[in-house]
Amino acid sequence: MLLQELHGGIYPCHEEHPAHFDRAEPIPGPTTDRLSKAAAEFNVVIVGSLFERRAVGLYHNSAVVLERDGSIAGRYRKMHIPDDPGYYEKFYFTPGDEGFVPIQTSLGCLGVLVCWDQWFPEAARLMALGGAEILLYPTAIGFAADESTAEQSRQLEAWQTIQRSHAIANALPLAACNRIGTEADTAFWGNSFICGPQGEILAQAGTNEQVLIATIDRRRSEDVRRMWPFLRDRRIDAYAGLTRRYLD
């Protein structure tokens, strides 16, 4: 079960206000306790998202994975932190310092990333190289109140396209769970989806609350990689420039 980004309450980053730090909690803590009970009760793996309090004055936007027995299988701290109107996350969150490390569960190896991470192909690739068998993105993204219908359409299509591209480039299934509803001046656009390793849509939500279910055949990733051997043909000897900010 994949939940949306910071699902425990309103998205706090629409403004910069110290009071929102009161929502932060440790891992383990109240939210992981509730998710742990649910995971054990329903015999499911749960990926949740919360405002993590690591220490006094040190906070992360984190995803946590609960195993079927309720134990904590692992945690991912969001690496890419945005700072844009309506998404003032740099005020609250320190970038993750644990890297792009997949989390092993009874369902397989999960490549968990968070929202803004979904625009960066490097993040998805490193999860794939680490052995991830599915990419998961808890998300909170939407339209600003003053954006035109045409611009909204372009943004939504770009959001889905980039994630389907990660699925294709790494031959991995992918699920993205986005918020819905309007908070402050942001209309979260929903449209959560699940796609297969060739980017094929397996399930698609709209703008209302709903549960998406899809059957994923992990064997297909190996079959696709045999046909499209992107990992085999990567020119790792020629990619040194990727470690530089800009080639000037």
Mean pLDDT value across residues 130-147? 96
How many residues comprise the chain?
A: 248
CATH number, domain containing residue 103: 3.60.110.10
Q: Residue 238 is encoded by which pair of tokens?
A: 């020629």
Mean pLDDT value across residues 28-34? 97
Give the pLDDT band (50/70/90) at residue 145. Answer: confident
Q: Where are the alpha helices (DSSP H) in the chain?
A: 30-42, 121-129, 149-170, 219-227, 230-233
In a domain, 32, yes or no: yes
In a domain, 183, yes or no: yes
State yes or no: is 5 an active-site residue. Answer: yes
In a domain, 244, yes or no: no
Task: Write down the pLDDT at residue 71.
Answer: 98
- Quick: pLDDT tens for 184-196: 989 999 999 999 9
d(CA 78, CA 236): 26
In a domain, 3, yes or no: no
- Selecting among 115, 133, 177, 195, the annotated active-site residue is 115
- Selecting among 78, 133, 177, 195, the annotated active-site residue is 78
Give the pLDDT band (50/70/90) at residue 55. Answer: very high
In a domain, 84, yes or no: yes
The answer to whether residue 224 scores a pLDDT higher than 90 is: yes
Number of H helices, E strands in the chain: 5, 14
Task: Write down the pLDDT at residue 235.
Answer: 96
In a domain, 48, yes or no: yes
In a domain, 5, yes or no: no
State yes or no: is 37 an active-site residue. Answer: no
Domain of 118 in residue numbering reads as 12-234
State yes or no: is 90 an active-site residue. Answer: no
Total of domains in the chain: 1
d(CA 243, CA 170): 20
Tell me the residue type at 144.
A
Task: Write down the pLDDT at residue 218.
Answer: 86
Cis peptide before 30 (omega within 30 of 0): no
Q: Residue 11 is encoded by which pair of tokens?
A: 């998205």
Q: Residue 207 is encoded by which pair of tokens?
A: 């703008």
- Quick: pLDDT tens for 59-77: 999 999 999 999 999 999 9
Considering the chain, what percentage of its residues have pLDDT values greater than 90? 98
In a domain, 137, yes or no: yes
- Quick: pLDDT tens for 82-135: 999 999 999 999 999 999 999 999 999 999 999 999 999 999 999 999 999 999
Task: Write down the pLDDT at residue 72.
Answer: 98
Are the C-beta atoms of 59 and 81 separated by less than 8 Å?
no
Mean pLDDT value across residues 158-173? 98
State the pTM of this model. Answer: 0.96
